[in-house]
Amino acid sequence: MDRYALFGNPIGQSKSPFIHSQFALQCNQSMQYDAILAPAEGFADSWHNFVASGGKGGNVTVPFKQQAFQLAEILSARAQQAGAVNTLYINNDGQLCGDNTDGIGLVADLTRLGVNLAGCTVLLLGAGGASRGVIGPLLDAGVKKLVLANRTADKAQRIAANFDSRVCACGLTNIPEHAYSLIINATSTGLAGGRPDLDPQHLKYCQLAYDMVYGAEPTAFMRWAKQQGVARQADGLGMLLSQAAAAFAIWRGVVPYIEPAMAALKQQLTA
Ligand code: ATR
């Protein structure tokens, strides 16, 4: 049976083994997908051991996405732009290839939610690994203007410098006034039940407030956006599923539907 795995540290809460086992059933693929806890300094060794024992491909999560980027012999344009790899596989010539499906996962989820990204003005909050990987795919999907706002403005500026003039950077307290129709929270604040401190005036034209974090209940950012009158809110569960579906398609050549796995995961989250 073909073997795949997620590498991370910590790994205990990961939904990926469940998601990929659902996809495998749905697409009739004979495969196994495990979660591997790699030591903080030992990602490359863990990966090499996995491949030596027959592993075909993998996903990479915190804190190894940059190390996977360094390890890959061939990088997709998406991975190069993101500076991070979340999907690894070995091509027919035996070379280790690195791709990044986080951004296309977000775009797929926004499309599923009915967002028309063409001509859209986006406010992206946070300048960590979560936001860097999604900027290129958002621009490719037609976003006209993207303002990257971070508590530490220099970090946003360093990321924005990799893109053209459609992307500009600022601190959270000096966000320029635009009619932002989509606001995405890519900060880690939701992990601890919080939200970034944002002037509510930026929400005036917002049609969808999207939080990359997910949970059983709407996140603090989603609840706040709703209170401010934003019509729709979504969490990052669909992005998680869509990035997994894109990785699955790279490995297996078939694109799974995310809806059945999403329903099963929602049930698990609220159980
Ligand atoms: P990762 O790379 O895994 O996404 P990270 O680099 O720690 O993680 O990034 C977390 C993001 O959440 C950063 O943009 C961080 O802002 P700083 O760069 O200023 O640290 C943001 N963040 C974390 N806590 C925050 C808070 N209380 N308010 C606003 N932004 C916060």
Task: List, in order of start, the domains of the chain with CATH numbers.
Answer: 2-100+238-270 (3.40.50.10860), 103-235 (3.40.50.720)
- Residue 234 pLDDT: 98
The 10s digit of each residue's pLDDT in 223-262 is 999 999 999 999 999 999 999 999 999 999 999 999 999 9
Instruction: Report CA(155)–ligand 1 centroid distance (Å).
Output: 10
The phi, psi pair for 246, rounded to 5°, reads -70, -40
Find the 126 Cα to ligand 1 centroid distance in Å. 6
Ligand 1, atom 9, lies closest to the CA of 128
pLDDT digits (tens, 9 = 90+) for 149-207: 999 999 999 999 999 999 999 999 999 999 999 999 999 999 899 999 999 999 999 99
Residue 114 has a pLDDT of: 96
Q: What percent of the chain has pLDDT over 90?
A: 97
Confidence of residue 55 (pLDDT cuts 50, 70, 90): very high
Q: Is the pLDDT confidence value at 13 over 90?
A: no
The reported pLDDT for the residue numbered 129 is 87
pLDDT value at residue 271: 85
Residue in 137, 163, 229 with CA at minimum distance from that of residue 147:
163
Q: Is the CB of 130 under 6 A from ligand 1?
A: yes
The mean pLDDT value for 78-107 works out to 96
Q: What is the pLDDT of residue 215?
A: 92
Q: Which atom of ligand 1 is nearest to the CA of 194?
A: 27
Q: How far away, in angstroms, is 187 Cα from ligand 1 center?
A: 5
Instruction: Give distance in angstroms: CA of 132 to centre of ligand 1.
Output: 12
Instruction: Give the position, in ligand 1's atom list, of the atom nearest the Cα of 151.
Output: 19
CA distances in angstroms from 134 to 34, 79, 225, 265, listed in the order given: 26, 10, 21, 23
Give the catalytic positions in this structure: 65
Phi, psi of 9 (to 5 degrees): -160, 105
Q: Is 121 in the pocket of ligand 1 (CB under 6 A)?
A: no
